[in-house]
Structure 1
Amino acid sequence: MQKQKHLPELAKKPMSKQKEQMKRKLALEEKAKENSLLGKNSSETLHDSRPAPKDSNNGSHLKDVHWSARQHHWKKNGNASPELGYEQLPKCEISGKEAVSALSRAKSKLCRQEIAEVYCQHKEGKLMPEEVIRFCPLEGKANNNVQWDEDSVEYMPTNPVRIAFVLVVHGRASRQLMRMFKAIYHKDHFYYIHVDKRSNYLHRQIIQFASQYPNVRITSWRMATIWGGASLLSTYLQSMQDLMEMKDWPWDFFINLSAADYPIRTNDQLVAFLSRYRDMNFLKSHGRDNARFIRKQGLDRLFLECDTHMWRLGDRKIPEGITVDGGSDWFLLNRKFVEYVTFSNDDLVTKMKRFYSYTLLPAESFFHTVLENSPHCNSMVDNNLRITNWNRKLGCKCQYKNIVDWCGCSPNDFKPADFHRFQQTARPTFFARKFEAVVNQEIIGQLDYYLYGNYPSGTPGLRSYWENVYDEPDGIHSISDVILTMYHSFSRLGLRRAETSFHTDSDNSCQYYPMGHPVSVHLYFLADHFQGFLVKHHATNLAASRLETLETWVMPKKVFKIASPPSDFGRLQFTEIGTDWDAKERIFRNFGGLIGPMDEPIGMQKWGKGPNVTVTVIWVDPINVIAATYDILIESSAEFTHYKPPLNLPLRPGIWTVKILHHWVPVAETKFLVSPLTFSNRQAIRQEEAVRLHSGPPKNAYMEQSFQGLNPVLNIPINAAQVEQARRTAGLTGTQLENWVDSLVGSIWSAVDICSTGPTSCPVMQACSQTSWSSLSPDPKSELGPVKPDGRLR
């Protein structure tokens, strides 16, 4: 890709009135931002779509490569870092409302400067290509059909293709990734893995298993890619260049996958099929009216990625001379076309790389457009050989508004009821997406057994799933104060269980004192039901004065209750309170609902079919202050409802109750914990901070409107002794605060079991590796072993 030239420093001449006004405006905005960020982590980082100059885990240096047409510009003041001392006036008047909005919302100086520069370049007509040369000899789009014959792909050809699988992964689902890798692995193919720059836990896990296999490599560079971001296209283009330069990897096809993909046919079937069509390129086009696609996709808008956000800066024109197309950003491309895209300096490739550097969802259009207008246009097959689980009613809820100035759609996860879709034979398909084991693992198991047969009878861990949510090398600053508070309390609950379960009058060898922060924490699921947290932690065995590492399993207690006697209202199936509601998958992503005083909880209800009804929802705080009440109209077809009442913060710590009534008759209720904090900014909380956070909202008013008149109606009396007790506990610190936290946590969570990860002086303490639940217990479905004689792992 081409680099922009660095902009010259401003000439030292008197500023125009317009520039003086703009400078004052930017200075005021900067001051306002600094005030708003006071007390928060406001450090500015470099543009996240570039990889770090050096990989922090293995120290290998990056090559000097052209990442994209868009580059960073800054004035260097001596040896100052680029993000310091950087102040440059816009080269034009920024009048577009979208650009002005982006400037006001961008967090860093560097990003605001880049927005201004890109906007001005575009305004002056220097950014976007106006015309592009088309090299395709065809009129219109190639219409290649590929035949799908189940029998013809059972026989391996004499010269089978070799595939470069490029895995672009992020998050923490290492076990799901390893299971997928196990299913697609064959010794004759190549695996190139890019791990998001922010996913250090996953990177550490992949480094461990990649070293076992000579045909697996990890990118020495890492980018922080975002949904819809230009950085994803940069990731693919750099991966392609790397693969082309690996002379010891003679691959024929490039296939991109994520950790949410899974094969639906065997490796042999895929190889046989691609060997038959080795000159083809497989991309799925949108199949709609092209003008409508351009509008819906935002291709006629100018976007810029910085501060891990895609900012919309205004309108632009599609270049003349070519047909712009697009569709899915999951594809299979042959080596000849990858070489063309990587190394060609012709008018089409050069200008399209520039055009798509400022495009939303560029990977959904760049390869389609280049292929259809290139000398390789007759190789396109309108099929990416995948099934994607689209449910646009649920998947198009603007769920990425916090990172993209646009409303985007995302596929849903597959569930067991979808399995029949993988067995269709109408068209060739070899992969499906999306899968998430925290949402449903059973479907992954069904697919795995369909492809490779059942595991032997008695194989452990087949219905269990573990996903890491905290790991010591990440540092405690990677988690919030409320989560750190809860993890510490979970550890203490586990030690108390060990003491009460294993202690006898003659033996105190199972008494412990907690030491330090947690070592690691996992979510634990069994048969697709959340079973709680597994907290690995250090403790001193008091009898032996020796440090041991234990793992505690805590499980949430049942807090949802149907009214007694039950009402004749039968539509409500369940209600739950949490944060981070996923409207697409209809689950709370904050598993276990860990909520603190400064969180904003959401109430969710699940409904059965029935007549239209209106129900009343009432939120009651720990001292019986009615915090909120509202009515919900439940339509006959409604399955879920959710609502976040606009409560004043801080919420009073303690056990809250949410009641559901129909015609003021109780239907059901649920409880949830707002935990007091033992930490503030990851340090032991001081008394003044505890009082500020634990005393509830000012004047006990959660909303402007008071609902106190409902207390006698609902028989929820406010007790003066309770109010006084809440006032006293608000100022607790140290051990007294920990005891209060533990009593509250213990009323909502139970320590089910505890085990030792290594040597222990407690004779009845089980080893974690011998349990069925511990994160150290066997998990053969996700464990990677030696390559089998047939070249596979599974």
Structure 2
Amino acid sequence: MTYGKYHGCYLDEKKLRILSSFYGNYATTNSPEFCLDICIQAGFPYAGVQYASECFCGDISPRESAKTTEGSCDMKCPGNSTKICGGYFTMNIYETGLSKFVPVTPKLSSNEKESVRIVFLLTLNGRALRQVHRLINVLYRSHHYFYIHVDKRQDYMHRKLSALEKEFKNVRLAPNRYATIWGGASLLKMLLSSMKDFMSLGWQWDYVINLSESDFPIKSLEDLERFLSANKGLNFVKSHGREVQRFIKKQGLDKTFIECETHMWRVGERKLPQGIIIDGGSDWIALSPEFVSYVVGKQDELLSGLDVIFQHTLLPAESFFHTVLRNSIFCTTYVDNNLHVTNWKRKLGCKCQYKHVVDWCGCSPNDFRTEDWPRIQNTLNRQLFFARKFEPVINQEVITRVEQLIGFTDHYHIQNLEGYWQNIYDIEDKPAGTDDTLLSHAGSILRQNAKILLQEDCTIELGEVHEINLYKYADVYKVSSDYDQKEMTFRNLGGILGPLSEPILVYQFSQIEKLTENLTVILLDPAGIIADVNIIYKEENNLTNFIKFNVKTPLLPGVWKVALLEQTLVPIAITKFLITPLEFFSGKEMSHQETSLIHSGSINSYKNYSHIKDIDLLPSTKDSLLLQELAFSNVKRIGHDLREWIDSLNVVFYDILGSCLSSDSFKGKQICGKYKFRDCVTTDWSSLSPDPKGTIGKLNLRTGRLERM
């Protein structure tokens, strides 16, 4: 095959196209050269121009019987009037210089006991430490390796995992850490940097597989080993499965992006390089050492050129490895399978939820829940070994089911099988990670607990808050913040709101209910003033939906109310939520000036709802004036007076269910006055309670596995 070699003029048929793999109409730019570029980008061997503006691509050689006289192709090209671009159902056909591409079909598995060593490249973000431990427990074998990159901003995760590097010789944490964002160029930089580093460690391995804390195996590790041992040297990536030109537009590959200050900025259009096949799809991959060595080694002309392109590409990790494979000597090792099944629900996952970090509208897969179990079962006879995404804060039962599917039988031994803990504050976190609302709330809980103990003649001295952990069993919040439309849940895991929060109401109708009239939602602040009004229309189809209140921060601290009213403004339901006053600002105690700014609310920015009257929800004029006067006086409270105000509010919304002592301090101190402390290890709720599924197991030297029990 030779680039641009002319085959001749061919007759075409509307119902049986001579080149049928791609069609595009380019009214101002079409020419043989232009069409050749389009077809090369898509990897097709043949390009054809027709009816002046039409470009066709195909991978089957045109039939000689369809060849006709050159005079039948008589239309000039709009992109180059010196060239001919076919005619009425006649096509000028050229070679692109490419051969027909057929991805490799891997072998099913090998019965031979040929060893295979895997580098699990874990790219971690967030604070789901126990889920990371659970993933490592399942994957760990002494002959495999774990290279762990923790996002530069996630000091808690990095500190906790550093212990593994000291305990296990086959675990290494990346010394060069990147702050990555969704779709950012930093993601590809991080992957290439990590690969370059572990290539220098002297590890002997056969495959690298990248995983996140949201991935989990859906087949046993032994199944994966047998499959990979039969297919050494191949490279597993997942292609987009659509027309390349559509993929280029959808991914924004024809746009230039620059990553700056944790944002991908779109700065203009661009033309992709000529002669390069463009491919991409998923950024979850399984690569051979030969290919990785080529990618991170001394750059040739292809790699140096692609390096420039992908530094300014949106979602570069979803296209870079695919494109290098298709354009290099490794094209014969390309397998269109990344070994993953992904839980795509496009209606939920494509809500442009990353607009705050990228000038583009992207999609993200959903977490698996128990109702998605059939999708996992359908992978049993397919060459798929991992699934994503899983989050224990969303659904932990499905993770337990997957463990049972891949051969774990220890669940009936595991205490707290259905419980999950996640750290949301640690004293060693950098000051930038300090959450003033959380600290203010935690301090109030400690004081409330101290008062309860004092009633039992037990006096405790309060110190600093060292850790705050979320214990999730079955919590539901009607009003919270950081709503995730995709998962239809709040990412403010504790549901704790402060003056700078942006509260969101989530409401749900039963399937048997159908609205016969519009409903009104009224938001009432602690001073008894209507802060916002919203309408739920009877035509609404979603069973679950949300309202983001149009109220400026800071919010007035105190008890807020949300009321659902009929068209006649008769209340149907009322819920309350707390805006906790802040004891701290930027980690330090609030000053007079800070309280006057943050605790005064934004009443002056409310819309005028004075026309809404005579509702049972609203206080009388006299009571309203008293509430406003109280709110004004609260603004002046600082120090001990401020803490008393915070405590008086928190005690209404939160109960103390128990206190315990850690094992280190338990001996000889369990009795305090009339109160007998429990050892935290014996409780169901303490973060010190045994959690084998979320704790790194003990290494069995004989089997090379980690044992949870």
* TM-score over 0.5 for the pair: yes
Does the CA contact (< 8 Å) of 1:623 and 1:723 recur in 2? yes
- Encode CA deviations 1:209-260: one digit per residue, 9 max, x unaligned: 232211111111111111111111111112222232222x110111111111
Shift of the alpha carbon at 1:456?
5.6
Establish whether residue 781 from structure 1 lines up as the match of residue 693 from structure 2: yes
1:182 match: secondary structure: helix
Does the CA contact (< 8 Å) of 2:411 and 2:417 recur in 1? no
Find the aligned partners of 1:675 and 1:338 in 2 and give their Cα distance.
52
Find the aligned partners of 2:289 and 2:304 in 1 and give their Cα distance.
19
Shift of the alpha carbon at 1:289?
0.8
Query: Unaligned stretches of 5+ in structure 2?
Result: 1-95
- Encode CA deviations 1:466-502: one digit per residue, 9 max, x unaligned: 10111111145422322221121121122223233xx
Q: Give the aligned partner of residue 703 of structure 1.
A: 606
Q: Give the aligned partner of residue 58 of structure 2.
A: none
- Encode CA deviations 1:617-664: one digit per residue, 9 max, x unaligned: 011112321222221115463122212222244322111110001222
Shift of the alpha carbon at 1:674?
1.1
- Encode CA deviations 1:172-194: one digit per residue, 9 max, x unaligned: 11100010011111111111111
Does the CA contact (< 8 Å) of 1:578 and 1:588 recur in 2? yes
Q: Give the aligned partner of residue 646 of structure 1.
A: 550
Change in 2 beyond 3 A, CA 1:773/1:158? same
Find the aligned partners of 1:212 and 1:188 in 2 and give their Cα distance.
15
Establish whether residue 141 from structure 1 lines up as the match of residue 101 from structure 2: yes
Query: Unaligned stretches of 5+ in structure 1?
Result: 1-135, 532-574
1:512 match: secondary structure: coil
Establish whether residue 449 from structure 1 lines up as the match of residue 384 from structure 2: no
Find the aligned partners of 2:285 and 2:553 in 1 and give their Cα distance.
47
* Counterpart residue type for residue 106 of structure 2: V
2:160 match: secondary structure: helix
Does the CA contact (< 8 Å) of 1:283 and 1:332 recur in 2? yes
Does the CA contact (< 8 Å) of 1:186 and 1:267 recur in 2? no
Q: Give the aligned partner of residue 513 of structure 1.
A: 461
- Encode CA deviations 1:669-706: one digit per residue, 9 max, x unaligned: 11001111222332222234323332333xx4452323
Percent of aligned positions with the same letter in both sequences?
41
* Counterpart residue type for residue 759 of structure 1: S
Does the CA contact (< 8 Å) of 1:144 and 1:382 recur in 2? yes
Q: Give the aligned partner of residue 92 of structure 1.
A: none
Greater shift, 753-762 or 649-658, is seen at 753-762
Find the aligned partners of 2:144 and 2:703 in 1 and give their Cα distance.
13
1:643 match: secondary structure: strand
Change in 2 beyond 3 A, CA 1:233/1:645? same
Q: Give the aligned partner of residue 398 of structure 1.
A: 352
Find the aligned partners of 2:615 and 2:363 in 1 and give their Cα distance.
47
2:465 match: secondary structure: strand
* Counterpart residue type for residue 665 of structure 2: P
Shift of the alpha carbon at 1:772?
1.5
Specify which of 542, 549, 566 is matched with residue 662 of structure 1: 566
Establish whether residue 524 from structure 1 lines up as the match of residue 471 from structure 2: yes
* Counterpart residue type for residue 365 of structure 1: S
Matches within 5 A, 1:687-766: 687-697=592-602, 700-707=603-610, 709-712=612-615, 714=617, 716-718=619-621, 719=623, 720-757=625-662, 758-759=664-665, 761-763=669-671, 764-766=676-678
* Counterpart residue type for residue 489 of structure 1: S
Find the aligned partners of 2:629 and 2:330 in 1 and give their Cα distance.
78
Specify which of 428, 434, 439 is matched with residue 484 of structure 1: 439
Find the aligned partners of 1:590 and 1:634 in 2 and give their Cα distance.
30
Does the CA contact (< 8 Å) of 2:571 and 2:617 recur in 1? no
* Counterpart residue type for residue 703 of structure 1: Y
Find the aligned partners of 1:692 and 1:639 in 2 and give their Cα distance.
39
Q: TM-score, normalised by structure 2?
A: 0.81
Shift of the alpha carbon at 1:337?
1.2
Q: Give the aligned partner of residue 158 of structure 1.
A: 113
Shift of the alpha carbon at 1:349?
1.6
Does the CA contact (< 8 Å) of 1:253 and 1:334 recur in 2? yes
Change in 2 beyond 3 A, CA 1:250/1:198? same
Q: Give the aligned partner of residue 55 of structure 2.
A: none
Specify which of 129, 133, 138 is matched with residue 174 of structure 1: 129
Greater shift, 778-787 or 640-649, is seen at 640-649
* Counterpart residue type for residue 488 of structure 2: R
Find the aligned partners of 1:619 and 1:456 in 2 and give their Cα distance.
46
Find the aligned partners of 1:600 and 1:708 in 2 and give their Cα distance.
26
Does the CA contact (< 8 Å) of 1:309 and 1:403 recur in 2? yes
Does the CA contact (< 8 Å) of 1:476 and 1:484 recur in 2? no
* Counterpart residue type for residue 451 of structure 1: I
Change in 2 beyond 3 A, CA 1:641/1:456? closer
Matches within 5 A, 1:202-601: 202-247=157-202, 249-424=203-378, 425-455=380-410, 457-500=412-455, 503=456, 508=457, 510-515=458-463, 517-526=464-473, 529-530=474-475, 576-601=478-503
1:514 match: secondary structure: coil
Find the aligned partners of 2:132 and 2:438 in 1 and give their Cα distance.
26
* Counterpart residue type for residue 748 of structure 1: F
Find the aligned partners of 2:550 and 2:519 in 1 and give their Cα distance.
19
Find the aligned partners of 1:328 and 1:456 in 2 and give their Cα distance.
33
2:699 match: secondary structure: coil
Does the CA contact (< 8 Å) of 2:152 and 2:179 recur in 1? yes
Find the aligned partners of 1:712 and 1:199 in 2 and give their Cα distance.
49
2:216 match: secondary structure: strand
Find the aligned partners of 1:245 and 1:640 in 2 and give their Cα distance.
51
Q: Give the aligned partner of residue 681 of structure 1.
A: 586
Find the aligned partners of 2:292 and 2:585 in 1 and give their Cα distance.
51
Q: Give the aligned partner of residue 39 of structure 1.
A: none
Does the CA contact (< 8 Å) of 1:524 and 1:530 recur in 2? no
2:462 match: secondary structure: strand
Q: Give the aligned partner of residue 69 of structure 2.
A: none
Does the CA contact (< 8 Å) of 1:252 and 1:335 recur in 2? yes
Shift of the alpha carbon at 1:397?
0.9
- Encode CA deviations 1:117-151: one digit per residue, 9 max, x unaligned: xxxxxxxxxxxxxxxxxxx9961433322354xxx
Does the CA contact (< 8 Å) of 2:265 and 2:359 recur in 1? yes
* Counterpart residue type for residue 427 of structure 1: R
Find the aligned partners of 1:592 and 1:197 in 2 and give their Cα distance.
24
1:461 match: secondary structure: coil
Find the aligned partners of 2:597 and 2:286 in 1 and give their Cα distance.
57
Find the aligned partners of 1:666 and 1:346 in 2 and give their Cα distance.
71
Find the aligned partners of 2:497 and 2:614 in 1 and give their Cα distance.
25
CA RMSD of aligned residues (A): 2.0
Does the CA contact (< 8 Å) of 1:389 and 1:414 recur in 2? yes
Does the CA contact (< 8 Å) of 2:283 and 2:318 recur in 1? yes
Change in 2 beyond 3 A, CA 1:479/1:395? same
Find the aligned partners of 2:139 and 2:652 in 1 and give their Cα distance.
45
